[in-house]
Structure 1
Amino acid sequence: MPALSPHPLIRSVTYTRWLHLFIGAVVWGVWEFIDEEGRLAPFALVGLVGLIPAVRLVEGLQARLLLTGDSHRESASRIAAAPSANWADRWRTALWMEVRLALGLLTAYLTAALAGLSFALARASSGADPVAMGALPWSLPGGHWWYALLAPLPTVALLAAVAGLGALITAIARRLLGPSGAERLAALEERTELLLERNRIARELHDSIGHALTVAVVQAGAARAAKNEEFTVRALAAIEETGRAALEDLERVLLILRESGGPVPARPTLAHLDRLLESARASGATVDASVSGPLSLVPGPVSREGYRIAQESLTNVLRHAGPAPIRVHITIADGRLDLEVTNPLPTTRPPAAPGGGLRGIRERAALLGGRATAGAEGGEWRVRVRLPLDFAARRVEAGGHPYA
């Protein structure tokens, strides 16, 4: 059940909006003190001031703080806090200044008139002389006690008017000071970049920690079944090595998340493939691996993603087929990297349905302009991945993010 919103009259933002409206009338008051005749001049003045790019920044910050109640809240983001980037922003800011001045004058008049009327009714209820009614152009005859019963009504009307005018100027601010199309597009691109980065980090943790836990579980189960001291020692060594690598990956991810500015450990690449294969062999699997072509020609982003794809493929074999025979073949030729991981289908249980690991493999391949397929074929489970070698390189040379 959604939480009920507090009544406008007990919300602090209602009164900060009142203050914001009063500030808008200050220009008029200052001009009245200088020149009582040119009463339309303030409108021309604030319109010209609104054409200055920095004014949009100042007005946006003030509106965020006073009209939304919190300059860091999500609702405040609907009001831009940046200088005018083009003439459309300038004209909208100029119009905003005109509207703010007009509503400020209306608020000041209603405050003086209705507050004065409440005071006049209270005075007239106890006296016989006519009482001036503040900003209103007539007097109130005195001597009527029942005026005291009417005295609170103008104040109530004033509070209602303030709440309504505050909501109105907030809506206008979001319209006239709201982000332009270019600013909304930039914000969307920034959010997309953030989501892509989070997705990449989630895949990193899934592949690394998932592989370490899978190896640990398989090794522990094999050691218990073997009941051999020498095998148990090898299993514990493999668990230690895999766990240490997972801790390095976790430390790197945490450093990225903390934005500490310190050196971040390098991500493993296909140059570290032997360590990955040994981890799988230590789990009892027979791994037959071959590499055709120079790994040194593989760009960093492709090499790193290729390592993670191979890691996830081996993890899936250990998780679903146990220590089964595995064939890993990597080919670097014709401007692409081909990776194939094959294992016999388990006979004791049906193959597991594709899960997050296979989806992560496909996502990694797609982000580098490649493709990945996985499925049963001739009694074997086969994962095929093709990655172009020049895709990530072109992105990096162009100043883009290789994962975007």
Structure 2
Amino acid sequence: MPRLLRPLTRAVTYTRWLHVLVGAVVPFACALVYPGLNDPSPGDWLLIAVLPVPLALAAAMVPPVRRAEGLQARLMLFAGPHARGGREQDPGVSTDSSTTWNDRVRTGAWLVLRLEAGLALALVTNALMSFTLALAGAGAEDPGLPLLPHMSDAGRLYVLLTPVPVLVLVLVAAGAGALVARAARRLLGPSVKERLAALEEHTERLLERDHIARELHDTLGHALTLAVVQAGAARTAGDPEFTDRALEAIEETGRDALEDLERVLLVLRETGRPAGTGPALDQAGRLLDSARAAGSRVDAELTGQLEDLPGPVTREAYRMLQEGLTNVLRHAGPVPIRVRVAVEGAWLRIDVRNPLPATTPPAGAGGGTGLRGVRERAALLGGEARTAQAGGEWLLLIDLPCADLG
């Protein structure tokens, strides 16, 4: 019983009731013109139900009508944010204008349903409310007078029965509203094209989040690794001059990391301001200087027109080189590093080598996210990233296509 009476306490029951009843406005307006509402016969009611259908189908041909109906349905047929139990996660009703004939046909079916359901519920509402008033009048022993204080036993029984038609009416309205809400999902729901567009948008958001996660990992991981290595080297050296250089390098690395972090946060905040672009491979010198400041001897060779690389390639290549150097410092410490970056025809090749440490496991052996992220970045660009051991060295080899150099 409590479950049966639950619709009585839900606001959405009454908004749905109102939404369905509004659909009866057009049939009654047409009925005032023809055949009239003066004691209509069953045939007249059938005519009243049929006459507005061509108008509804004609209105469905107008693209913005679907948007208007979708907005009304979302507002009136589904629970809002302050409803008991919370807002429904996804009403499944589109708020876009019609773009295809399938959209128009479904909108037409929805408008016809609104007309007929509204007319039917209006007649049921009128009948049950009239019955309620009749019971109240019978309880007063005079159907034409208001309720009197002195009633017979039969009159008291009629008064006790008065709420029953009202309760039945609310339950009927709740059931009709639930059925109309379900029909709204089917007739006003997203088309296949809209579902594909929503899926693509969702996929783009996931890719953007993944990209942001990689940016944060690369930027903060690189800065923290350099800071830890430089601080440890400064403490071990015990040389004030070396300590000053290490602190200066830590400060510069931290400042660069804060700039990159602010750029990434602009995207997360969705402020509408341009987030800018990340560092490019022609700025790789600061990565090499950071590694040198951490105590590593870096032998670097950069050849080719790095400044002419396509935007996505040069930015992703910078992050891959950054991760490669960070990986060396994190796992092997300040060891000698050989870096080769070259544009060879339609390919960009990056080669990072360092001696294998005697006791520390080789970089990437633990399956960390850093080198896995490098492989994923390379694969997204149509390239390849490999790791290997050869001649007592750990190798990170990256090949990226850059055929857009023209």
TM-score interval for Structure 1 and Structure 2 normalised by the shorter chain: 0.7 to 0.9
Q: Does 1:291 align with 2:290?
A: no
Cα deviation, 1:12-52, whole Å, max 9, x if unaligned, reads: 22211111101111111211222226522112221222222
Q: What's the offset of the Cα at 1:112?
A: 1.7
Cα deviation, 1:322-346, whole Å, max 9, x if unaligned, reads: 1122221112112011112122222
Cα deviation, 1:346-388, whole Å, max 9, x if unaligned, reads: 2223234121211211121122111112244443322111110
2:8 aligned partner, one-letter code? L
Question: Counterpart of 2:69?
Answer: 59
Confirm or deny: 8 A CA contact 2:23 2:114 kept in the other structure: yes
* 1:167 pairs with one of 178, 182, 198: 178
More deviation, 362-371/107-116: 107-116
TM-score, length of structure 1 as denominator length: 0.87
CA 1:13–1:343: 2 relative to 1, 3 Å: same
CA 1:263–1:44: 2 relative to 1, 3 Å: closer
TM-score, length of structure 2 as denominator length: 0.86
State the SS of the aligned residue for 1:145. helix
State the SS of the aligned residue for 1:146. helix
Rounded to whole Å, the distance in 2 between the matches of 1:124 and 1:176 is 45
Question: Counterpart of 1:346?
Answer: 357
CA 1:74–1:285: 2 relative to 1, 3 Å: farther
CA 1:376–1:151: 2 relative to 1, 3 Å: farther
Count of equivalent residues: 380
Query: 4+ residue runs of structure 1 moved beyond 6 angstroms?
Result: none
* 2:109 pairs with one of 95, 106, 113: 95
Q: Does 1:45 align with 2:55?
A: yes
CA 1:62–1:263: 2 relative to 1, 3 Å: closer
Cα deviation, 1:131-160, whole Å, max 9, x if unaligned, reads: 89xxxxxxxx99442223322222221121
Q: How does 1:370-381 map to 2 (within 5 A)?
A: 370-381=383-394
CA 1:74–1:327: 2 relative to 1, 3 Å: farther
CA 1:173–1:264: 2 relative to 1, 3 Å: closer
1:26 aligned partner, one-letter code? V
Q: Does 1:334 align with 2:341?
A: no
Q: What's the offset of the Cα at 1:309?
A: 0.3
Q: What's the offset of the Cα at 1:75?
A: 4.1
Q: Does 1:212 align with 2:223?
A: yes
Point out where structure 2 has 5 or more consecutive residues left out of the alignment.
37-43, 82-86, 146-151
Rounded to whole Å, the distance in 2 between the matches of 1:74 and 1:341 is 53
Q: What's the offset of the Cα at 1:296?
A: 3.2
Rounded to whole Å, the distance in 2 between the matches of 1:8 and 1:389 is 63
Q: What's the offset of the Cα at 1:117?
A: 2.2
Q: Does 1:300 align with 2:311?
A: yes
* 1:184 pairs with one of 192, 195, 202: 195
Question: Counterpart of 2:242?
Answer: 231
CA 1:263–1:24: 2 relative to 1, 3 Å: closer
* 1:323 pairs with one of 334, 347, 353: 334
Rounded to whole Å, the distance in 1 between the matches of 2:398 and 2:291 is 20
Cα deviation, 1:298-343, whole Å, max 9, x if unaligned, reads: 2222111111100011111111111122221112112011112122
Rounded to whole Å, the distance in 2 between the matches of 1:193 and 1:315 is 28
Aligned-residue identity in percent? 54
More deviation, 365-374/21-30: 365-374
Confirm or deny: 8 A CA contact 1:70 1:76 kept in the other structure: no
Rounded to whole Å, the distance in 1 between the matches of 2:27 and 2:111 is 12
2:249 aligned partner, one-letter code? A
Rounded to whole Å, the distance in 2 between the matches of 1:210 and 1:285 is 17
Q: How does 1:69-218 map to 2 (within 5 A)?
A: 69-70=79-80, 75-76=89-90, 78-127=92-141, 129=142, 143-218=154-229
Q: What's the offset of the Cα at 1:265?
A: 4.7
Rounded to whole Å, the distance in 2 between the matches of 1:155 and 1:380 is 86
More deviation, 313-322/338-347: 338-347
1:102 aligned partner, one-letter code? E
More deviation, 369-378/209-218: 369-378
Cα deviation, 1:77-129, whole Å, max 9, x if unaligned, reads: 511111111111111111111111111112212222223323322332331x5
Q: What's the offset of the Cα at 1:76?
A: 4.8
Question: Counterpart of 1:16?
Answer: 15
Q: What's the offset of the Cα at 1:257?
A: 3.4
Rounded to whole Å, the distance in 2 between the matches of 1:77 and 1:145 is 46
Confirm or deny: 8 A CA contact 2:91 2:185 kept in the other structure: no
Question: Counterpart of 1:252?
Answer: 263
Q: Does 1:365 align with 2:375?
A: no
Question: Counterpart of 2:26?
Answer: 27
Rounded to whole Å, the distance in 1 between the matches of 2:272 and 2:136 is 67
CA 1:25–1:265: 2 relative to 1, 3 Å: closer
Confirm or deny: 8 A CA contact 2:134 2:143 kept in the other structure: no
Rounded to whole Å, the distance in 2 between the matches of 1:114 and 1:78 is 33
Confirm or deny: 8 A CA contact 1:96 1:176 kept in the other structure: yes
Rounded to whole Å, the distance in 1 between the matches of 2:126 and 2:25 is 14
Question: Counterpart of 1:135?
Answer: none
